[in-house]
A = this chain, B = another copy of it.
Amino acid sequence: MARPPDKTARADLLAAALIEFDEHGVERATVEAITSRAGRSKGAFYLHFESKEAAFLALCESAFAGLGEFIGAVTPSSSLDWGLEALRAHWLETDLRAFEYVWQHRPILRLVLSVGMCGRFAYLVDAFATVARESIARWLEYGVERGFYRAELDIAITSMAIGGAYDRLARELVRLEKKPDLARWLSQFQATFVEGLAARERATKRGQSPTKPRGPAGEEPVAAKTRRASRHAALRG
């Protein structure tokens, strides 16, 4: 319990554990390999961590601790009075900061997103996904309330879709070796969700390559067409 004097030991061990967990999974990674990679003794490992899994949870904690800051940063409330532009700007800005963080911490997040997905650790990512989705849902509600978003949106389902999309984005990012143009990725995401896929009445003007668009051009709103009853009903069938 007493804080060990060698503060670098814990960090060394966590760094080694990160690599081993990532390469072999928590289950197959051996304490032996971790400690030998860290240049520490097995005794030191158990001096700093209750068990192998405790070390993994410590890694998870640090991963989520950082991520959580971005998500809970600003919560929409009735007192908040942003316009559409501010909403989109905030969205993009928040995303950018969050995914910049993801990029910076991709080693640990790759671990958490893959290993943490299965087995008895699933709850960790689940919990985070739920938090993220609830945050999305709150912002969607905010947008709907303000009239920025379609009134008939099913918040629960839409937040699931958006959450899933961002989740996938994070999983891809975390595996890349070269940093992509995050701003483009995220603005495309935003465009996809806000504008949707549908071409508006006025087609895009120039001969843009659809596979390599330079970004959104002005569009005009189109009246929603497909109206289906009971759009806001409960999710259960």
Contacts and interface: CB of A to CB of B under 8 A. Distances in A.
Contacts of A212: 154, 183
Given A198-B148, A221-B199, A85 B234 contact: no
A73 interface: no
Contacts of A151: 199, 203-204, 208, 210, 213
Contact of A202 (B116, B147, B163, B181): B147
Interface in A203-230: 203-228, 230
A97 interface: no
Interface in A123-148: 129-130, 133-134, 137, 140-148
* Interface size classification for chain A: 35 or more
Best-buried of A142, A149, A187, A194 by chain B (most CB within 10 Å):
A187
Interface of A: 2, 24-25, 27-28, 41, 43, 78, 80-90, 92-93, 114-120, 122, 129-130, 133-134, 137, 140-169, 171-172, 178-228, 230-237
